[in-house]
Structure 1
């Protein structure tokens, strides 16, 4: 699989991800919900940390987290380039491209959104305002997709630990970038053998013993 194909996947995901985030950010007030189907809502929240709102405490926690994300994306980008140059499996290359695109999409939020938007509390945010809500590297990640397939279900009292409590399944709120990362990881898990299959060389390619050792 050629690098330009991976670049197209990454570009497409970034466009969809950023368009959806900017649309929600400029048309929803923080906490707004729109019922699309009984099992699907658009629910605008902002995530200051990693998955499930995990944060690094302290004055420089957000900055450290953003820098870590940038370094991680750099490593993933190198992995993608290396896998492409070595002719690795399409499963592997597509998975890496999806993970790279998702990670980069959320980095854009973290790096830029603090200066691109003003606050979304009790009002619609504006694009490139005079009074932005944050600084460089201190933006919040926009999440909006909510799939409460089972919502406010009361568990029977006899169920251990959660008996008599209301539960919601699935209660995570995510964005296109998160979905891209999850899909890429899913490919690596469920198609592991195909993703990490040895590179198949053309039948007419012959190596000397020294070449074979170098190749391995």
Structure 2
């Protein structure tokens, strides 16, 4: 396991937060809300459209008195949890792709937390009748992909009979959406095993915990078999030496030696 520093991933988070807040403040100070200040970017389908969102991403909200406060508190805890999880993954040597995706999700969470926490005070955009401007700020949305708008049929539960259009969102929402999509698309690569390029060996390879352990009886049988093979080899070598000695001591060999000595005397 090779630990990684989470600093470069937090740097991406800070850059995305700065971009998100810069765009939101520019829209707030230099654009008129609604259709009056709408700016077309690409044809009639990609526009800048300034709206205030009192709820969650893509305009969803909790419809009771303290729903906004609960949502803001939840965002704070989620922001802290995501940051801690990012550090945890980096120290475990997780794939870089997963860490970049988590950094994007963290940037989106922090960006919307800043809106909810402070915009009600500094931009005075808390909804009318809010118990306090703190934690009741409305999120500034501006990216409008205008591909559909109209009335939803009445037979559709909850939303039936109402006029809707495609959601208007911001940079922070985009970061969360892209980060989640990356994790879903590459989850097998991120969580199924780490590559050598990321500093870890594949999890699917041989594992020491799965090694087979032979019983003591089999080990004893193997050792006994080795001793027996050694004992068989040693007597065979000894018998070879004995055969050589017997051959040298046989009568035929002694007679041949005597005959050679007589020849030498003659």
Instruction: Return the TM-score normalized by structure 1.
Output: 0.75
SS at match of 1:56: coil
- Equivalent of 1:141 in 139, 142, 157: 139
Contact 1:89 1:197 in 2 (8 A): no
Contact 2:144 2:166 in 1 (8 A): yes
Contact 1:115 1:135 in 2 (8 A): yes
The alpha-carbon distance between structure 1 residues 135 and 25, as it changes in their structure 2 partners (threshold 3 A), is same
The alpha-carbon distance between structure 1 residues 15 and 44, as it changes in their structure 2 partners (threshold 3 A), is same
Runs (5+) with no aligned partner, structure 1: 121-133, 154-160, 162-166, 204-208, 211-216
Which residue number in structure 2 is paired with residue 125 of structure 1?
none
2:93 is equivalent to residue 95 of structure 1: no
Q: Distance in 1 between matches of 2:50 and 2:17?
A: 19
The alpha-carbon distance between structure 1 residues 47 and 199, as it changes in their structure 2 partners (threshold 3 A), is same
The alpha-carbon distance between structure 1 residues 96 and 119, as it changes in their structure 2 partners (threshold 3 A), is closer
The structure whose RCO (Cα within 8 Å, separation 6+) is larger is 1
2:179 is equivalent to residue 179 of structure 1: no
Q: Distance in 1 between matches of 2:58 and 2:142?
A: 13
2:32 is equivalent to residue 34 of structure 1: no
Larger Rg: 2
In the TM superposition, what is the alpha-carbon distance from 1:192 to its structure 2 partner? 1.2
2:89 is equivalent to residue 83 of structure 1: yes
Aligned length: 183
Q: Distance in 2 between matches of 1:4 and 1:192?
A: 23
| Deviation by residue 1:108-146 (Cα, 9 ceiling, x = unmatched) | 0000100111359xxxxxxxxxxxxx6111100000001
Contact 1:115 1:136 in 2 (8 A): yes
Q: Distance in 1 between matches of 2:65 and 2:148?
A: 37
Farther-moved stretch of structure 1 (52-61 vs 27-36): 52-61
In the TM superposition, what is the alpha-carbon distance from 1:190 to its structure 2 partner? 0.9
Q: Distance in 1 between matches of 2:85 and 2:46?
A: 35
- Equivalent of 1:106 in 88, 100, 112: 112
Contact 2:50 2:140 in 1 (8 A): yes
- Equivalent of 2:10 in 7, 10, 35: 7
Runs (5+) with no aligned partner, structure 2: 127-131, 151-155, 157-162, 202-207, 210-266
The alpha-carbon distance between structure 1 residues 119 and 89, as it changes in their structure 2 partners (threshold 3 A), is closer
| Deviation by residue 1:22-74 (Cα, 9 ceiling, x = unmatched) | 00011122213111221211000111111232222332211111001111111
SS at match of 2:48: strand
Instruction: Return the TM-score normalized by structure 2.
Output: 0.61
SS at match of 1:193: helix
Q: Distance in 1 between matches of 2:51 and 2:139?
A: 9
The alpha-carbon distance between structure 1 residues 113 and 172, as it changes in their structure 2 partners (threshold 3 A), is same
In the TM superposition, what is the alpha-carbon distance from 1:152 to its structure 2 partner? 6.0
The alpha-carbon distance between structure 1 residues 202 and 60, as it changes in their structure 2 partners (threshold 3 A), is closer
Farther-moved stretch of structure 1 (188-197 vs 73-82): 188-197
